Amino acid sequence: MMKRLICYMAAALVCVSCANTKQQNDANAAVTVRVSQAEAVDKPNEVTGFGSLSFLQKNDISAQQEGEIAAIYHREGEEVRKGDILALLKNPRLSIAVEVSEEEYTQAESAYQLANIRLLEGEFNAEAELLSIERSEAELREQTRYHSEQVRKFNQQTTLYAAGGVNEESVRSARFELDAQAAQLELSALDIEIRRIGLRDRDLRAAGMNVSLDPEEKTRDLIALTTSSLRVELKAAETSREMAYKNLVSARTAEAELKIASPVSGFIAARNFETGDHVKKDDTLFTVLNADSLYATIPVREADAFRIKKGMPVVVKVDGTGATYNAKVDLVSPIADVQSFMFNVRVLIDAAELSEAGAAKPGMFAEARITVGKPDRTIVIDDEAIINKNKKEGTVCVVQGQRVTMRRVMFGEIYENKREIMSGLENGELVVLKPASNLKEGTYVQITKK
């Protein structure tokens, strides 16, 4: 029994010794490798495309008046700003029309001022006439009281004559004097009545005006009634002045239209006339491309076209300048190109950014990145870790412990200098970079720093 136990122990020691020897041999035969860690990152949900810049708007600038081209200040290809004068026309007829209109307006203004002065004088005269009538009425009342007193004295004198106190001649002379006074009173009253014509209450009513109980207001109404014809003359003069002013503005506007100005900022694409040429109204003189309406046309695949909607944010990078602009999707073509089977997406660049930079020009090559949704979480590794690539599949050497496991993976696009892994790897796993051909399943490896 003891001998059997000793045999078992000896056998066990031999096995342990063999295992240690094999592990030591594997360690001595370990392959040194560099590794990279698979990591999870946020991948922008974007559609990328390449295209060229174009202008959205083209402005044909036409002559608003007939004339001869006196000067041209800009040529094809030159950049212009909104309001810049491109050319100058000459039309003597319009210049003469401005001079005539200015003279007519000056005369109309003088006539208006004269009518205004006449109305003011008429109001003063009317007020003076009313005061004069009031004075005459006061004098008539005083004369009437005096006549009444003379009648009383004449009656006394008649009584004295009957008693023999005065002679008949004195009585006859007094009667004549009274009759003369009465006639004068009647004439004064008639004169006041005549002067009141047009200033009576019934005249106010006939003119459609109310008779006010307020003396001051009634006086103003009477003055207005008296000067109504002068007011009509002033209104006519004012109308004539306004008409003359409109004619003057019209003539000056027509003359100003001889200056051909650019309605937008941009570039002159075409010039159709030369200095000295005669142009008619509505003839197209220049074509200006609007610099504030630059857009990029980007072809995309059918699958991407259905994901893109109008208004989605876009970042456009212009290769020629290196400048980057914020933009938005303006239009997705509903029909694919018959040759490329791609759908064109029109991306409109923010006009404010164009005015600040001003370097982008039509025809330049541009890259557009269209954001179509929230970022996706994905696994990425260094592209050099993938071997045996076949379309979208490949093999990676995964280090688990100190041994290599060969694993098949599905990969996607290059993203930020790394390859996107669609399946086959987990976040944090280590893969061998540029694995040597002698690496096999189960190969013992030793990791070195990258």
Domain 46-57+290-371 in CATH 1.10.357.10: no
CATH number of 95-241: 1.10.287
CB neighbour class for 377 (10 Å; exposed up to 12, middle 13-18, buried from 19): exposed
Q: Which residues sit opposite 272 in a β-bridge?
A: none
> For residues 353 and 280, what is the distance between their CA atoms, to the nearest angstrom?
38
Cα 412 to chain centroid distance, Å, stands at: 46
CA distance 80 to 59: 13
Residue 69, class by beta-carbon neighbours within 10 Å (0-12 exposed, 13-18 middle, 19+ buried)? Answer: buried
pTM of the model: 0.54
Residue 359, C-beta contacts closer than 8 angstroms, at least 6 positions apart: 318, 321, 323
**Look-up: residue for tokens 């950049």?**
79
CA–CA gap between residue 327 and residue 312 (Å, rounded): 9
Phi, psi of 193 (to 5 degrees): -65, -40
DSSP-assigned letters across all residues of 231-289: HHHHHHHHHHHHHHHHHHHHHHHHHHTTEEE-SSSEEEEEE---TT-EE-TT-EEEEEE
Residue 302, phi then psi, degrees to nearest 5: -60, -45
Q: Regarding beta strands 278-279 and 294-300, do their DSSP bridges make them parallel or antiparallel, or are they unpaired?
A: unpaired
CATH of domain 28-42+376-448: 2.40.420.20
Q: Counting every residue, how long is the chain?
A: 450
Structure tokens at 36: 């990279």
Mean pLDDT by 10-residue block, N- to C-terminus, for the chain (450 residues)?
A: 47 43 53 91 86 82 93 89 93 94 96 96 94 93 93 89 82 90 93 91 91 92 92 96 96 94 87 93 90 81 90 88 86 87 88 59 84 88 91 92 92 84 92 89 85
Tally of CA atoms within 13 A in the half-sphere of 107 that contains its CB: 9
What pLDDT score was predicted for residue 21?
40
pLDDT of residue 85: 95
Summarize the chain as % helix, strand, coil (round to 5): 40, 30, 25
pLDDT, residue 354, reads: 63
> Within its chain, how far is the Cα of 432 from the centroid?
60
CA pair distance 30, 20, nearest whole angstrom: 15
> For position 4, what pLDDT does the model report?
53
CATH of the domain spanning 61-88+257-288, picked from 1.10.1760.20, 3.30.565.10, 3.90.1150.10, 2.40.50.100: 2.40.50.100
Give me the residue spans of the domains in the chain. 28-42+376-448, 46-57+290-371, 61-88+257-288, 95-241
DSSP 385: G
**Angle 294-295-299 (CA atoms, 0-180°, nearest 5)?**
160
- Cβ-based neighbours of 153, under 8 Å, separated by 6 or more: 174
